[in-house]
Copies of this chain bind each other. A is one copy, B any other.
Amino acid sequence: MRIVVADCSVDYAGRLSAHLPRAKRVLMLKSDGSVLVHSDGGSYKPLNWMSPPCALTTLELEDEQHDAGIVEAWQVVHAKTGDKLIVSLFEIMSDSSHELGVDPGLIKDGVEAHLQELLADQIELVGDGHQLVRREYMTAIGPVDILARDAAGASVAIEIKRRGGIDGVEQLTRYLELMNRDPALAPVQGVFAAQEIKPQARTLAEDRGIRCLVLDYDAMRGMEDHNTLF
């Protein structure tokens, strides 16, 4: 990993064209050839970058570049797409390299799969007397998150999202359309469950007779812990 702090301008030509006017920035050159151009603010996204696999070469300076005050120029080319990033350096404030080694990587938990697990275990949240049939119930066009039966024994197809948007409603609608053609399942009631349901999605869902269910992740997790403890 090489880190350069420099007054520079950057040009990108690939799926789009982009230009960064001259300013002081941090240039991160990773050992896989990738380059990140960061400013002192914004989010984790660099102003500009080149993803691996790619290769960096130092360009020969032409007279007019030299006259313009450029002291060094890099060309970073993507190995597959040919996308090109050109960094023109006017002044280098700092240039250092560090051997980091391979990173052991991130360990994370607490995502959408967990919501499905929790709701399967607490299926009564969908309605009194509901019973789980199975998770990831396969259909011809993909798996429905949860298939259940209500107190009367009627089928209930549940689509779970962390944030419920229109896409999720469309997805559930396609499943319902298909499942309602199966005499063994029909009629199938739809339930759209999410931690947060967007107004447009709720409107669309209710217009189609799909029930909306807002999930309280913390409460469900707390319930789970409680169940585990006793």
Contact = CB atoms under 8 A, between A and B. Distances in A.
Contacts of A99: 24
Interface in A85-136: 93-94, 96, 98-111
Nearest to A96: B94
B41 A36 contact: no
A1 B26 contact: yes
Interface in A12-37: 15-21, 23-26, 28, 30-32, 34, 36
Contacts of A41: 30-32, 34, 52, 102-103
A106 B47 contact: yes
A153 B21 CA distance: 48
A3 B43 CA distance: 16
Interface string A39-68: 111111111110110000000000000000
B103 A39 contact: yes
B98 A93 contact: yes
A100 B25 contact: yes
A224 interface: no
B45 A44 contact: yes
- Most central of A19, A49, A94, A100 by chain B CB within 10 Å: A100
Contacts of A109: 16-18
A104 B38 contact: no
A94 to B, nearest CB: 7
A16 B101 contact: no
Given A30-B40, A41-B31, A52-B41, A103 B16 contact: no
A41 B101 CA distance: 10
Contacts of A46: 44
16 contacts: A3-B3, A19-B108, A20-B107, A23-B104, A24-B98, A24-B99, A25-B100, A26-B98, A32-B40, A34-B43, A36-B38, A40-B102, A47-B106, A94-B98, A166-B170, A167-B170
